[in-house]
Structure 1
Amino acid sequence: LPPLFALIFAAPPLRGAPAAGYVAALFLLAATAYAVFQVPYVTMPAEMTEDPRERGRVLGWRVGFLGVAILLSGALAPAIAHADGDTPGSYRLMGVAVAVLLAVGMFGAWSATRRAPAVARSEAEPSLRAQLAAARSSRPFLHLAGMWTLQALAIGVMLAGVQYFATYTLGSAGAVTPLFACLIGPLVLFMPLWNRLARRKGVTYAQWCASLLYTAGAVLLAFTGSGGPAVGYAAVVLVGIAYAGLQLLPLTMLADTLAADAAATGRRRAATFTGLWTAAETLAFALGAGVFATVLAVTGFRSSDAAHQVEQPDAALTGITAGMSVLPALLAAASLVLLSRYRVTPAVNRPLQEEPARAD
């Protein structure tokens, strides 16, 4: 993944369709490499412990480090890219810098968990058809995965619009750095509070709170034009507080769902479910950029290169704000329908088809 990420921003001397093809191919390869890492990474908490509280603590630390990494990359990457006036060289340097950060995080995760205990091993379905059949047999997983896919799409659309929102709504391309700080800063600060709320009131209750708060923050973001930059930054802080919960709570619910499925069926299907989860999540984040680009095209946004900013029609400016606020709010609101149908009923443990693997 690190070299593929750097190559996405290598900016070879291509224009038009060849340039788009290059970026698409490299992004596909990078997303595939990410999935190969992410599937076992998400599966491991369900394999390492059967204690829900312990899983919550493990995932809490995961989200905490995730927040620091996103804050570093989200704030550092634009600063590097804009340092020399958005030149191809500055983007190449940014790609290499983030690639190094990716390498440190990924090898660090491997090194820290290679001797971790394994309470049980997951079994994998042999084909995509079998995986989809397994997913259809678990209604809680279907509702949970559908909810998170919609929320991931909402987040992907919003992240795709940050640079446009900073440039055309807030009036400064450099505003993307404080925007990322407002979005990701609360991830580290409020993650323990979301974890505590989940322990006291239940993880589903906490997920409702995070989803509603995200929706409210996205709606407030629509009033940036009339209320000024302060309203925009305040809305992004609310979204960031909610985002802390949305990074932690769905994964906690997924781990609980996997444990309940194992107890009900006697099978360890965590690898199958997390593979589908990661595929849906990756697709949603990728589609986010495409959906926002569609909004720009429909509203008449005028493309330009980094060195020549053109004046945009009022419809395009409205589209940028709506794409950053109204559209993510609608997607988040739609996800609440699936969240309302999510139920996990604790089942009596049945003998597992595989013997638990012993820790090294």
Structure 2
Amino acid sequence: MTGLDGEVTLRRGPLFGFAAGSLGMGVWVTVPGLLLLYFLTDVLAVAPWLAGLTLLLPKIADVVLHPWVGHRSDVEQARRGHRRRLLLAGCLLPLAFAGLFAVPGGLTGAAAAGWVALLFIAGNLLFAAYQVPYLATPADLRIGYHERTRLMAFRMMVLTVGILLSGLLAPLLTGGDTPTRGGYLRMALLLGAGTLAAMLVGVGGIDRLRRAAAAPAAAHATGGWPALAASLRDRQFRWLVAAYLAMSTTTHLVLAGVPYYARYELGRPKLTTVLVAAFVAPALLVTPAWLAVARRVGKQRALLAGQLAFAAGALVLAVGRPAGLPVLITAVAVLGTAFAGMQLLPFSMLPDVIRAAGAARAGTYTGVWTATEATGGALGPYAYALCLAAGGFVASAAGETVTQSPAAHAAIRYGFGLLPAAVMLVAVLMQRRYTLDRVARAESAAAH
């Protein structure tokens, strides 16, 4: 359906097809973030400081590779009118995902960390090849301020299903309370197959959206470092992406801490699935509510409310076991409710920034964005690993039982609660410097 201003209201079929791509993306975002640090320290006997570096150092490549992928995506869009070739290349991601957990049996410690680091680099590059052009799609379409939020709401609903299913299934498939190397590989193969199917459906969904609402292709501007520098000179984008870095770091920190909190603070490893469900499941219910709130008060105000709620919930988790299990699970559910808003709203604000700057560099902008997301995905587990190392946490191999010191238990608890609250408050301060939302809302109201 096309409005008087030329903007299109998207039909649900193509929306769900597009959103299906996030089902596969949810597996890659969730499973390494949830299990990889624990896999390194408690299955492969990698020291916490080295395990943290194993997850952090590969992200240095992302800072360069993601904007480059974005540039290539813009070139494809200008020359061919679509970004399909990169999307299809990214569909090789499940191979790297399986390899990440297929560590040869004789490798432990530093050698195992090296294997994981190499496969992590390959996986992150393939993730970028899919995610960058995928997230550029809203800026390629003739849709307005609120329709971009609606498109991202569909994405968020399906992404939540991917995060929830993979977050619940992955710990069970690895062996539950007694995970093994074979269990981790079985998990990676099964979830990798589902990831491939979802990604291919997503490519078809993007094709349908483009046929229904493609905006005229803009001539591609200068790429490479000049394009990257131009995007970072954009004040609105700079503050938005800085705030999102803090948000991504915080949510991945919490995700990495879940297995440790369940096993060592709550004393029940199987509670990992309960905590993951409490963190992710609320998004299935509250995403429409976040969409309604954004329509009423604007995306930025809604996002600020979500950030403050996340910080409050994290402070409750810092209390730990004395607060009682029902209270702690409720606090995790508050984090999950806020997480839903922090996935929906920044991702719908990004195309607002791109459209305000001109869509010719949409790929470069989304390349920087996904590099930021990947960096946060590494900084979060790294920060938690540093907390473990500072508390004297002792790494172990699969099947070994170790007794952690009181300092290690405190590090597990405070790294899961106090540190996320502090980093999220930094995100709030950065987000307040973003001012485009008021302008974009006013323009949307004037157009309608």
The normalised TM-score by structure 2 is 0.74
Q: List gaps (5 residues or longer) in structure 2.
A: 1-92, 444-448
What does residue 144 of structure 2 align with?
A: 51
Quick one: distance in 1 between partners of 2:398 and 2:196?
Answer: 29
What does residue 173 of structure 1 align with?
A: 269
Quick one: distance in 2 between partners of 1:294 and 1:276?
Answer: 26
Q: Give the letter aligned to residue 121 of structure 2.
A: L
What does residue 225 of structure 1 align with?
A: 321
**Aligned-pair CA distance for 1:156:** 1.1
Q: Give the letter aligned to residue 46 of structure 1.
A: A
What does residue 332 of structure 1 align with?
A: 424
**Aligned-pair CA distance for 1:83:** 4.5
Identity %: 37
1:160 aligns with 2:160: no
**Aligned-pair CA distance for 1:97:** 1.4
Quick one: distance in 2 between partners of 1:218 and 1:183?
Answer: 12
**Aligned-pair CA distance for 1:101:** 2.1
Say if 1:269 and 1:347 are closer, same or farther in 2 by CA, change over 3 A: farther
**Aligned-pair CA distance for 1:124:** 5.9
1:139 aligns with 2:235: yes
SS of 1:114 mapped into structure 2: helix
What does residue 243 of structure 1 align with?
A: 339
Quick one: distance in 1 between partners of 2:244 and 2:307?
Answer: 10
Q: Give the letter aligned to residue 223 of structure 2.
A: P
* Contact map agreement 1:84 1:90 (CA 8 A) in 2: no
SS of 2:366 mapped into structure 1: helix
Say if 1:132 and 1:333 are closer, same or farther in 2 by CA, change over 3 A: same
Quick one: distance in 1 between partners of 2:376 and 2:191?
Answer: 22
Q: Give the letter aligned to residue 434 of structure 2.
A: Y
* Contact map agreement 1:125 1:272 (CA 8 A) in 2: no
SS of 2:223 mapped into structure 1: coil
5 Å-filtered alignment, 1:76-95, equals 76-83=169-176, 85-95=178-188
**Aligned-pair CA distance for 1:4:** 0.5
Q: What are the superposed Cα offsets for residues 241-284 of structure 1, whole Å, 9 maximum, x if unpaired?
A: 0001001000111111112222xxxx622111111010111111
Alignment match of 1:207 (pick from 299, 303, 306): 303
What does residue 24 of structure 1 align with?
A: 117
1:296 aligns with 2:393: no
Q: What RMSD, in angstroms, separates the aligned Cα atoms of the two structures? A: 1.7
**Aligned-pair CA distance for 1:193:** 0.3
Q: Give the letter aligned to residue 204 of structure 1.
A: Q
Say if 1:172 and 1:234 are closer, same or farther in 2 by CA, change over 3 A: same
5 Å-filtered alignment, 1:310-349, equals 310-344=402-436, 345-346=439-440
5 Å-filtered alignment, 1:232-311, equals 232-262=328-358, 268-311=360-403
* Contact map agreement 2:246 2:427 (CA 8 A) in 1: yes
SS of 1:121 mapped into structure 2: coil
SS of 1:222 mapped into structure 2: helix
**Aligned-pair CA distance for 1:218:** 0.8
Say if 1:305 and 1:328 are closer, same or farther in 2 by CA, change over 3 A: same
Q: List gaps (5 residues or longer) in structure 1.
A: 350-360
Quick one: distance in 2 between partners of 1:151 and 1:326?
Answer: 15
SS of 2:276 mapped into structure 1: helix
SS of 1:207 mapped into structure 2: helix
**Aligned-pair CA distance for 1:107:** 0.8
**Aligned-pair CA distance for 1:306:** 2.7
Quick one: distance in 2 between partners of 1:72 and 1:334?
Answer: 31
Quick one: distance in 2 between partners of 1:85 and 1:221?
Answer: 25
**Aligned-pair CA distance for 1:133:** 1.3
Say if 1:190 and 1:16 are closer, same or farther in 2 by CA, change over 3 A: same
Say if 1:190 and 1:346 are closer, same or farther in 2 by CA, change over 3 A: closer
SS of 1:82 mapped into structure 2: coil
Q: Give the letter aligned to residue 301 of structure 1.
A: F
Quick one: distance in 1 between partners of 2:320 and 2:347?
Answer: 32
**Aligned-pair CA distance for 1:336:** 1.0
**Aligned-pair CA distance for 1:237:** 0.3
* Contact map agreement 2:286 2:337 (CA 8 A) in 1: yes
What does residue 195 of structure 1 align with?
A: 291
* Contact map agreement 1:124 1:271 (CA 8 A) in 2: no
What does residue 105 of structure 1 align with?
A: 198
* Contact map agreement 1:135 1:273 (CA 8 A) in 2: yes
**Aligned-pair CA distance for 1:49:** 2.6
Quick one: distance in 2 between partners of 1:84 and 1:222?
Answer: 24
- In the alignment of these two chains, the number of paired residues is 344
